Amino acid sequence: MIDFSNKRWFIFMSFVLVVSGAWIWLSAASPADLGTNSITAPQKGLPPPAFHLDSLTGEEYHFPSPKKQVILINFWASWCPPCRAEMPAMQRVYQKYQGSNFEILAVNVTNKDRLEDAAAIVEENGLTFPVLLDHQGRVSEEYRVNSMPTSFFIDKQGIVQYMVIGGPMREALILSYLQELLEE
């Protein structure tokens, strides 16, 4: 014998599943609908804002560069202990992956720091990756850096894949993200 209450439930369930299936189909989107191709923002899944800054050694750096690289953008200041603590790990990873499609851009928030202190940290840790100077603080403002250090891992397509707010980042963390992004 048919259980009518269960039959009613079956009809209800079928209705819900058909309507929700139709909703899935109707809400299908393209990357353009999501704005992931056109809108820049310092957030996972979006291309981060472009900038150009001078380095500590006087060279001009443009981001993004035409090269398809994995990039780690790290915002730091000399007075920030976790920023200083993660520098050796970043340097080791940089040396290990030199020659691969990998670049580190360490943006010193110079408007809140002293240039001589930043230079001392670079010398003390023997940093060979580019250290960029954000004299006006415009880049850190565009990247909404509220606490330091803040790091962005950007894939070869120029999209933010990981953000690390606070620190210090361990070498294992940098390596794990980097290896994943280089393999893509």
**Please, which residue, 111 or 161, has the CB nearer to other proteins?**
161
Q: Which of residues 124-143 bind other proteins (CB under 8 A)?
A: none
**Please, which residue, 68 or 170, has the CB nearer to other proteins?**
170
Pick the piece of the chain touching other proteins (CB under 8 A) from 67-75, 97-105, 112-120, 171-179: 171-179
Q: Count Cβ atoms below 10 Å from residue 146 Cβ, excluding itself.
A: 8
Two tokens at 98?
Answer: 């030199």
Q: Which of residues 21-60 bind other proteins (CB under 8 A)?
A: 21, 23-31, 33-36, 39-46
Identify whether the C-beta of residue 78 lies closer than 8 Å to the C-beta of residue 121. Answer: yes
Q: Is the dihedral of CA 62, 64, 70, 72 positive or negative?
A: positive
Taking the complex as a whole, the smallest distance from the CB of residue 4 to other proteins amounts, in Å, to 9
**Please, which residue, 30 or 57, has the CB nearer to other proteins?**
30
**Please, which residue, 60 or 184, has the CB nearer to other proteins?**
184
* CA atoms of 100 and 51, how far apart (whole Å): 23
Query: Tokens 């299908």 belong to which residue?
Result: 28
Among positions 70, 73, 83, 89, the unique one binding other proteins when judged by CB under 8 A: 89
**Please, which residue, 14 or 65, has the CB nearer to other proteins?**
14
Q: One-letter amino acid identity for 11? A: I
What 97-101 contacts at long range (C-beta under 8 Å, 24+ apart), as own/partner pairs, is 97/178, 97/182, 100/182, 101/67, 101/68, 101/69, 101/70, 101/156, 101/182
Degrees, nearest 5: CA angle 146-115-78: 50
Among positions 55, 111, 171, 182, the unique one binding other proteins when judged by CB under 8 A: 171
Query: Tokens 């209705």 belong to which residue?
Result: 15
**Please, which residue, 119 or 175, has the CB nearer to other proteins?**
175
Taking the complex as a whole, the smallest distance from the CB of residue 164 to other proteins amounts, in Å, to 6
Residues lying near other proteins in the complex (CB under 8 A): 3, 5-6, 9-10, 13, 16-17, 20-21, 23-31, 33-36, 39-46, 89, 92, 144, 146-148, 162, 164-166, 169-176, 179-180
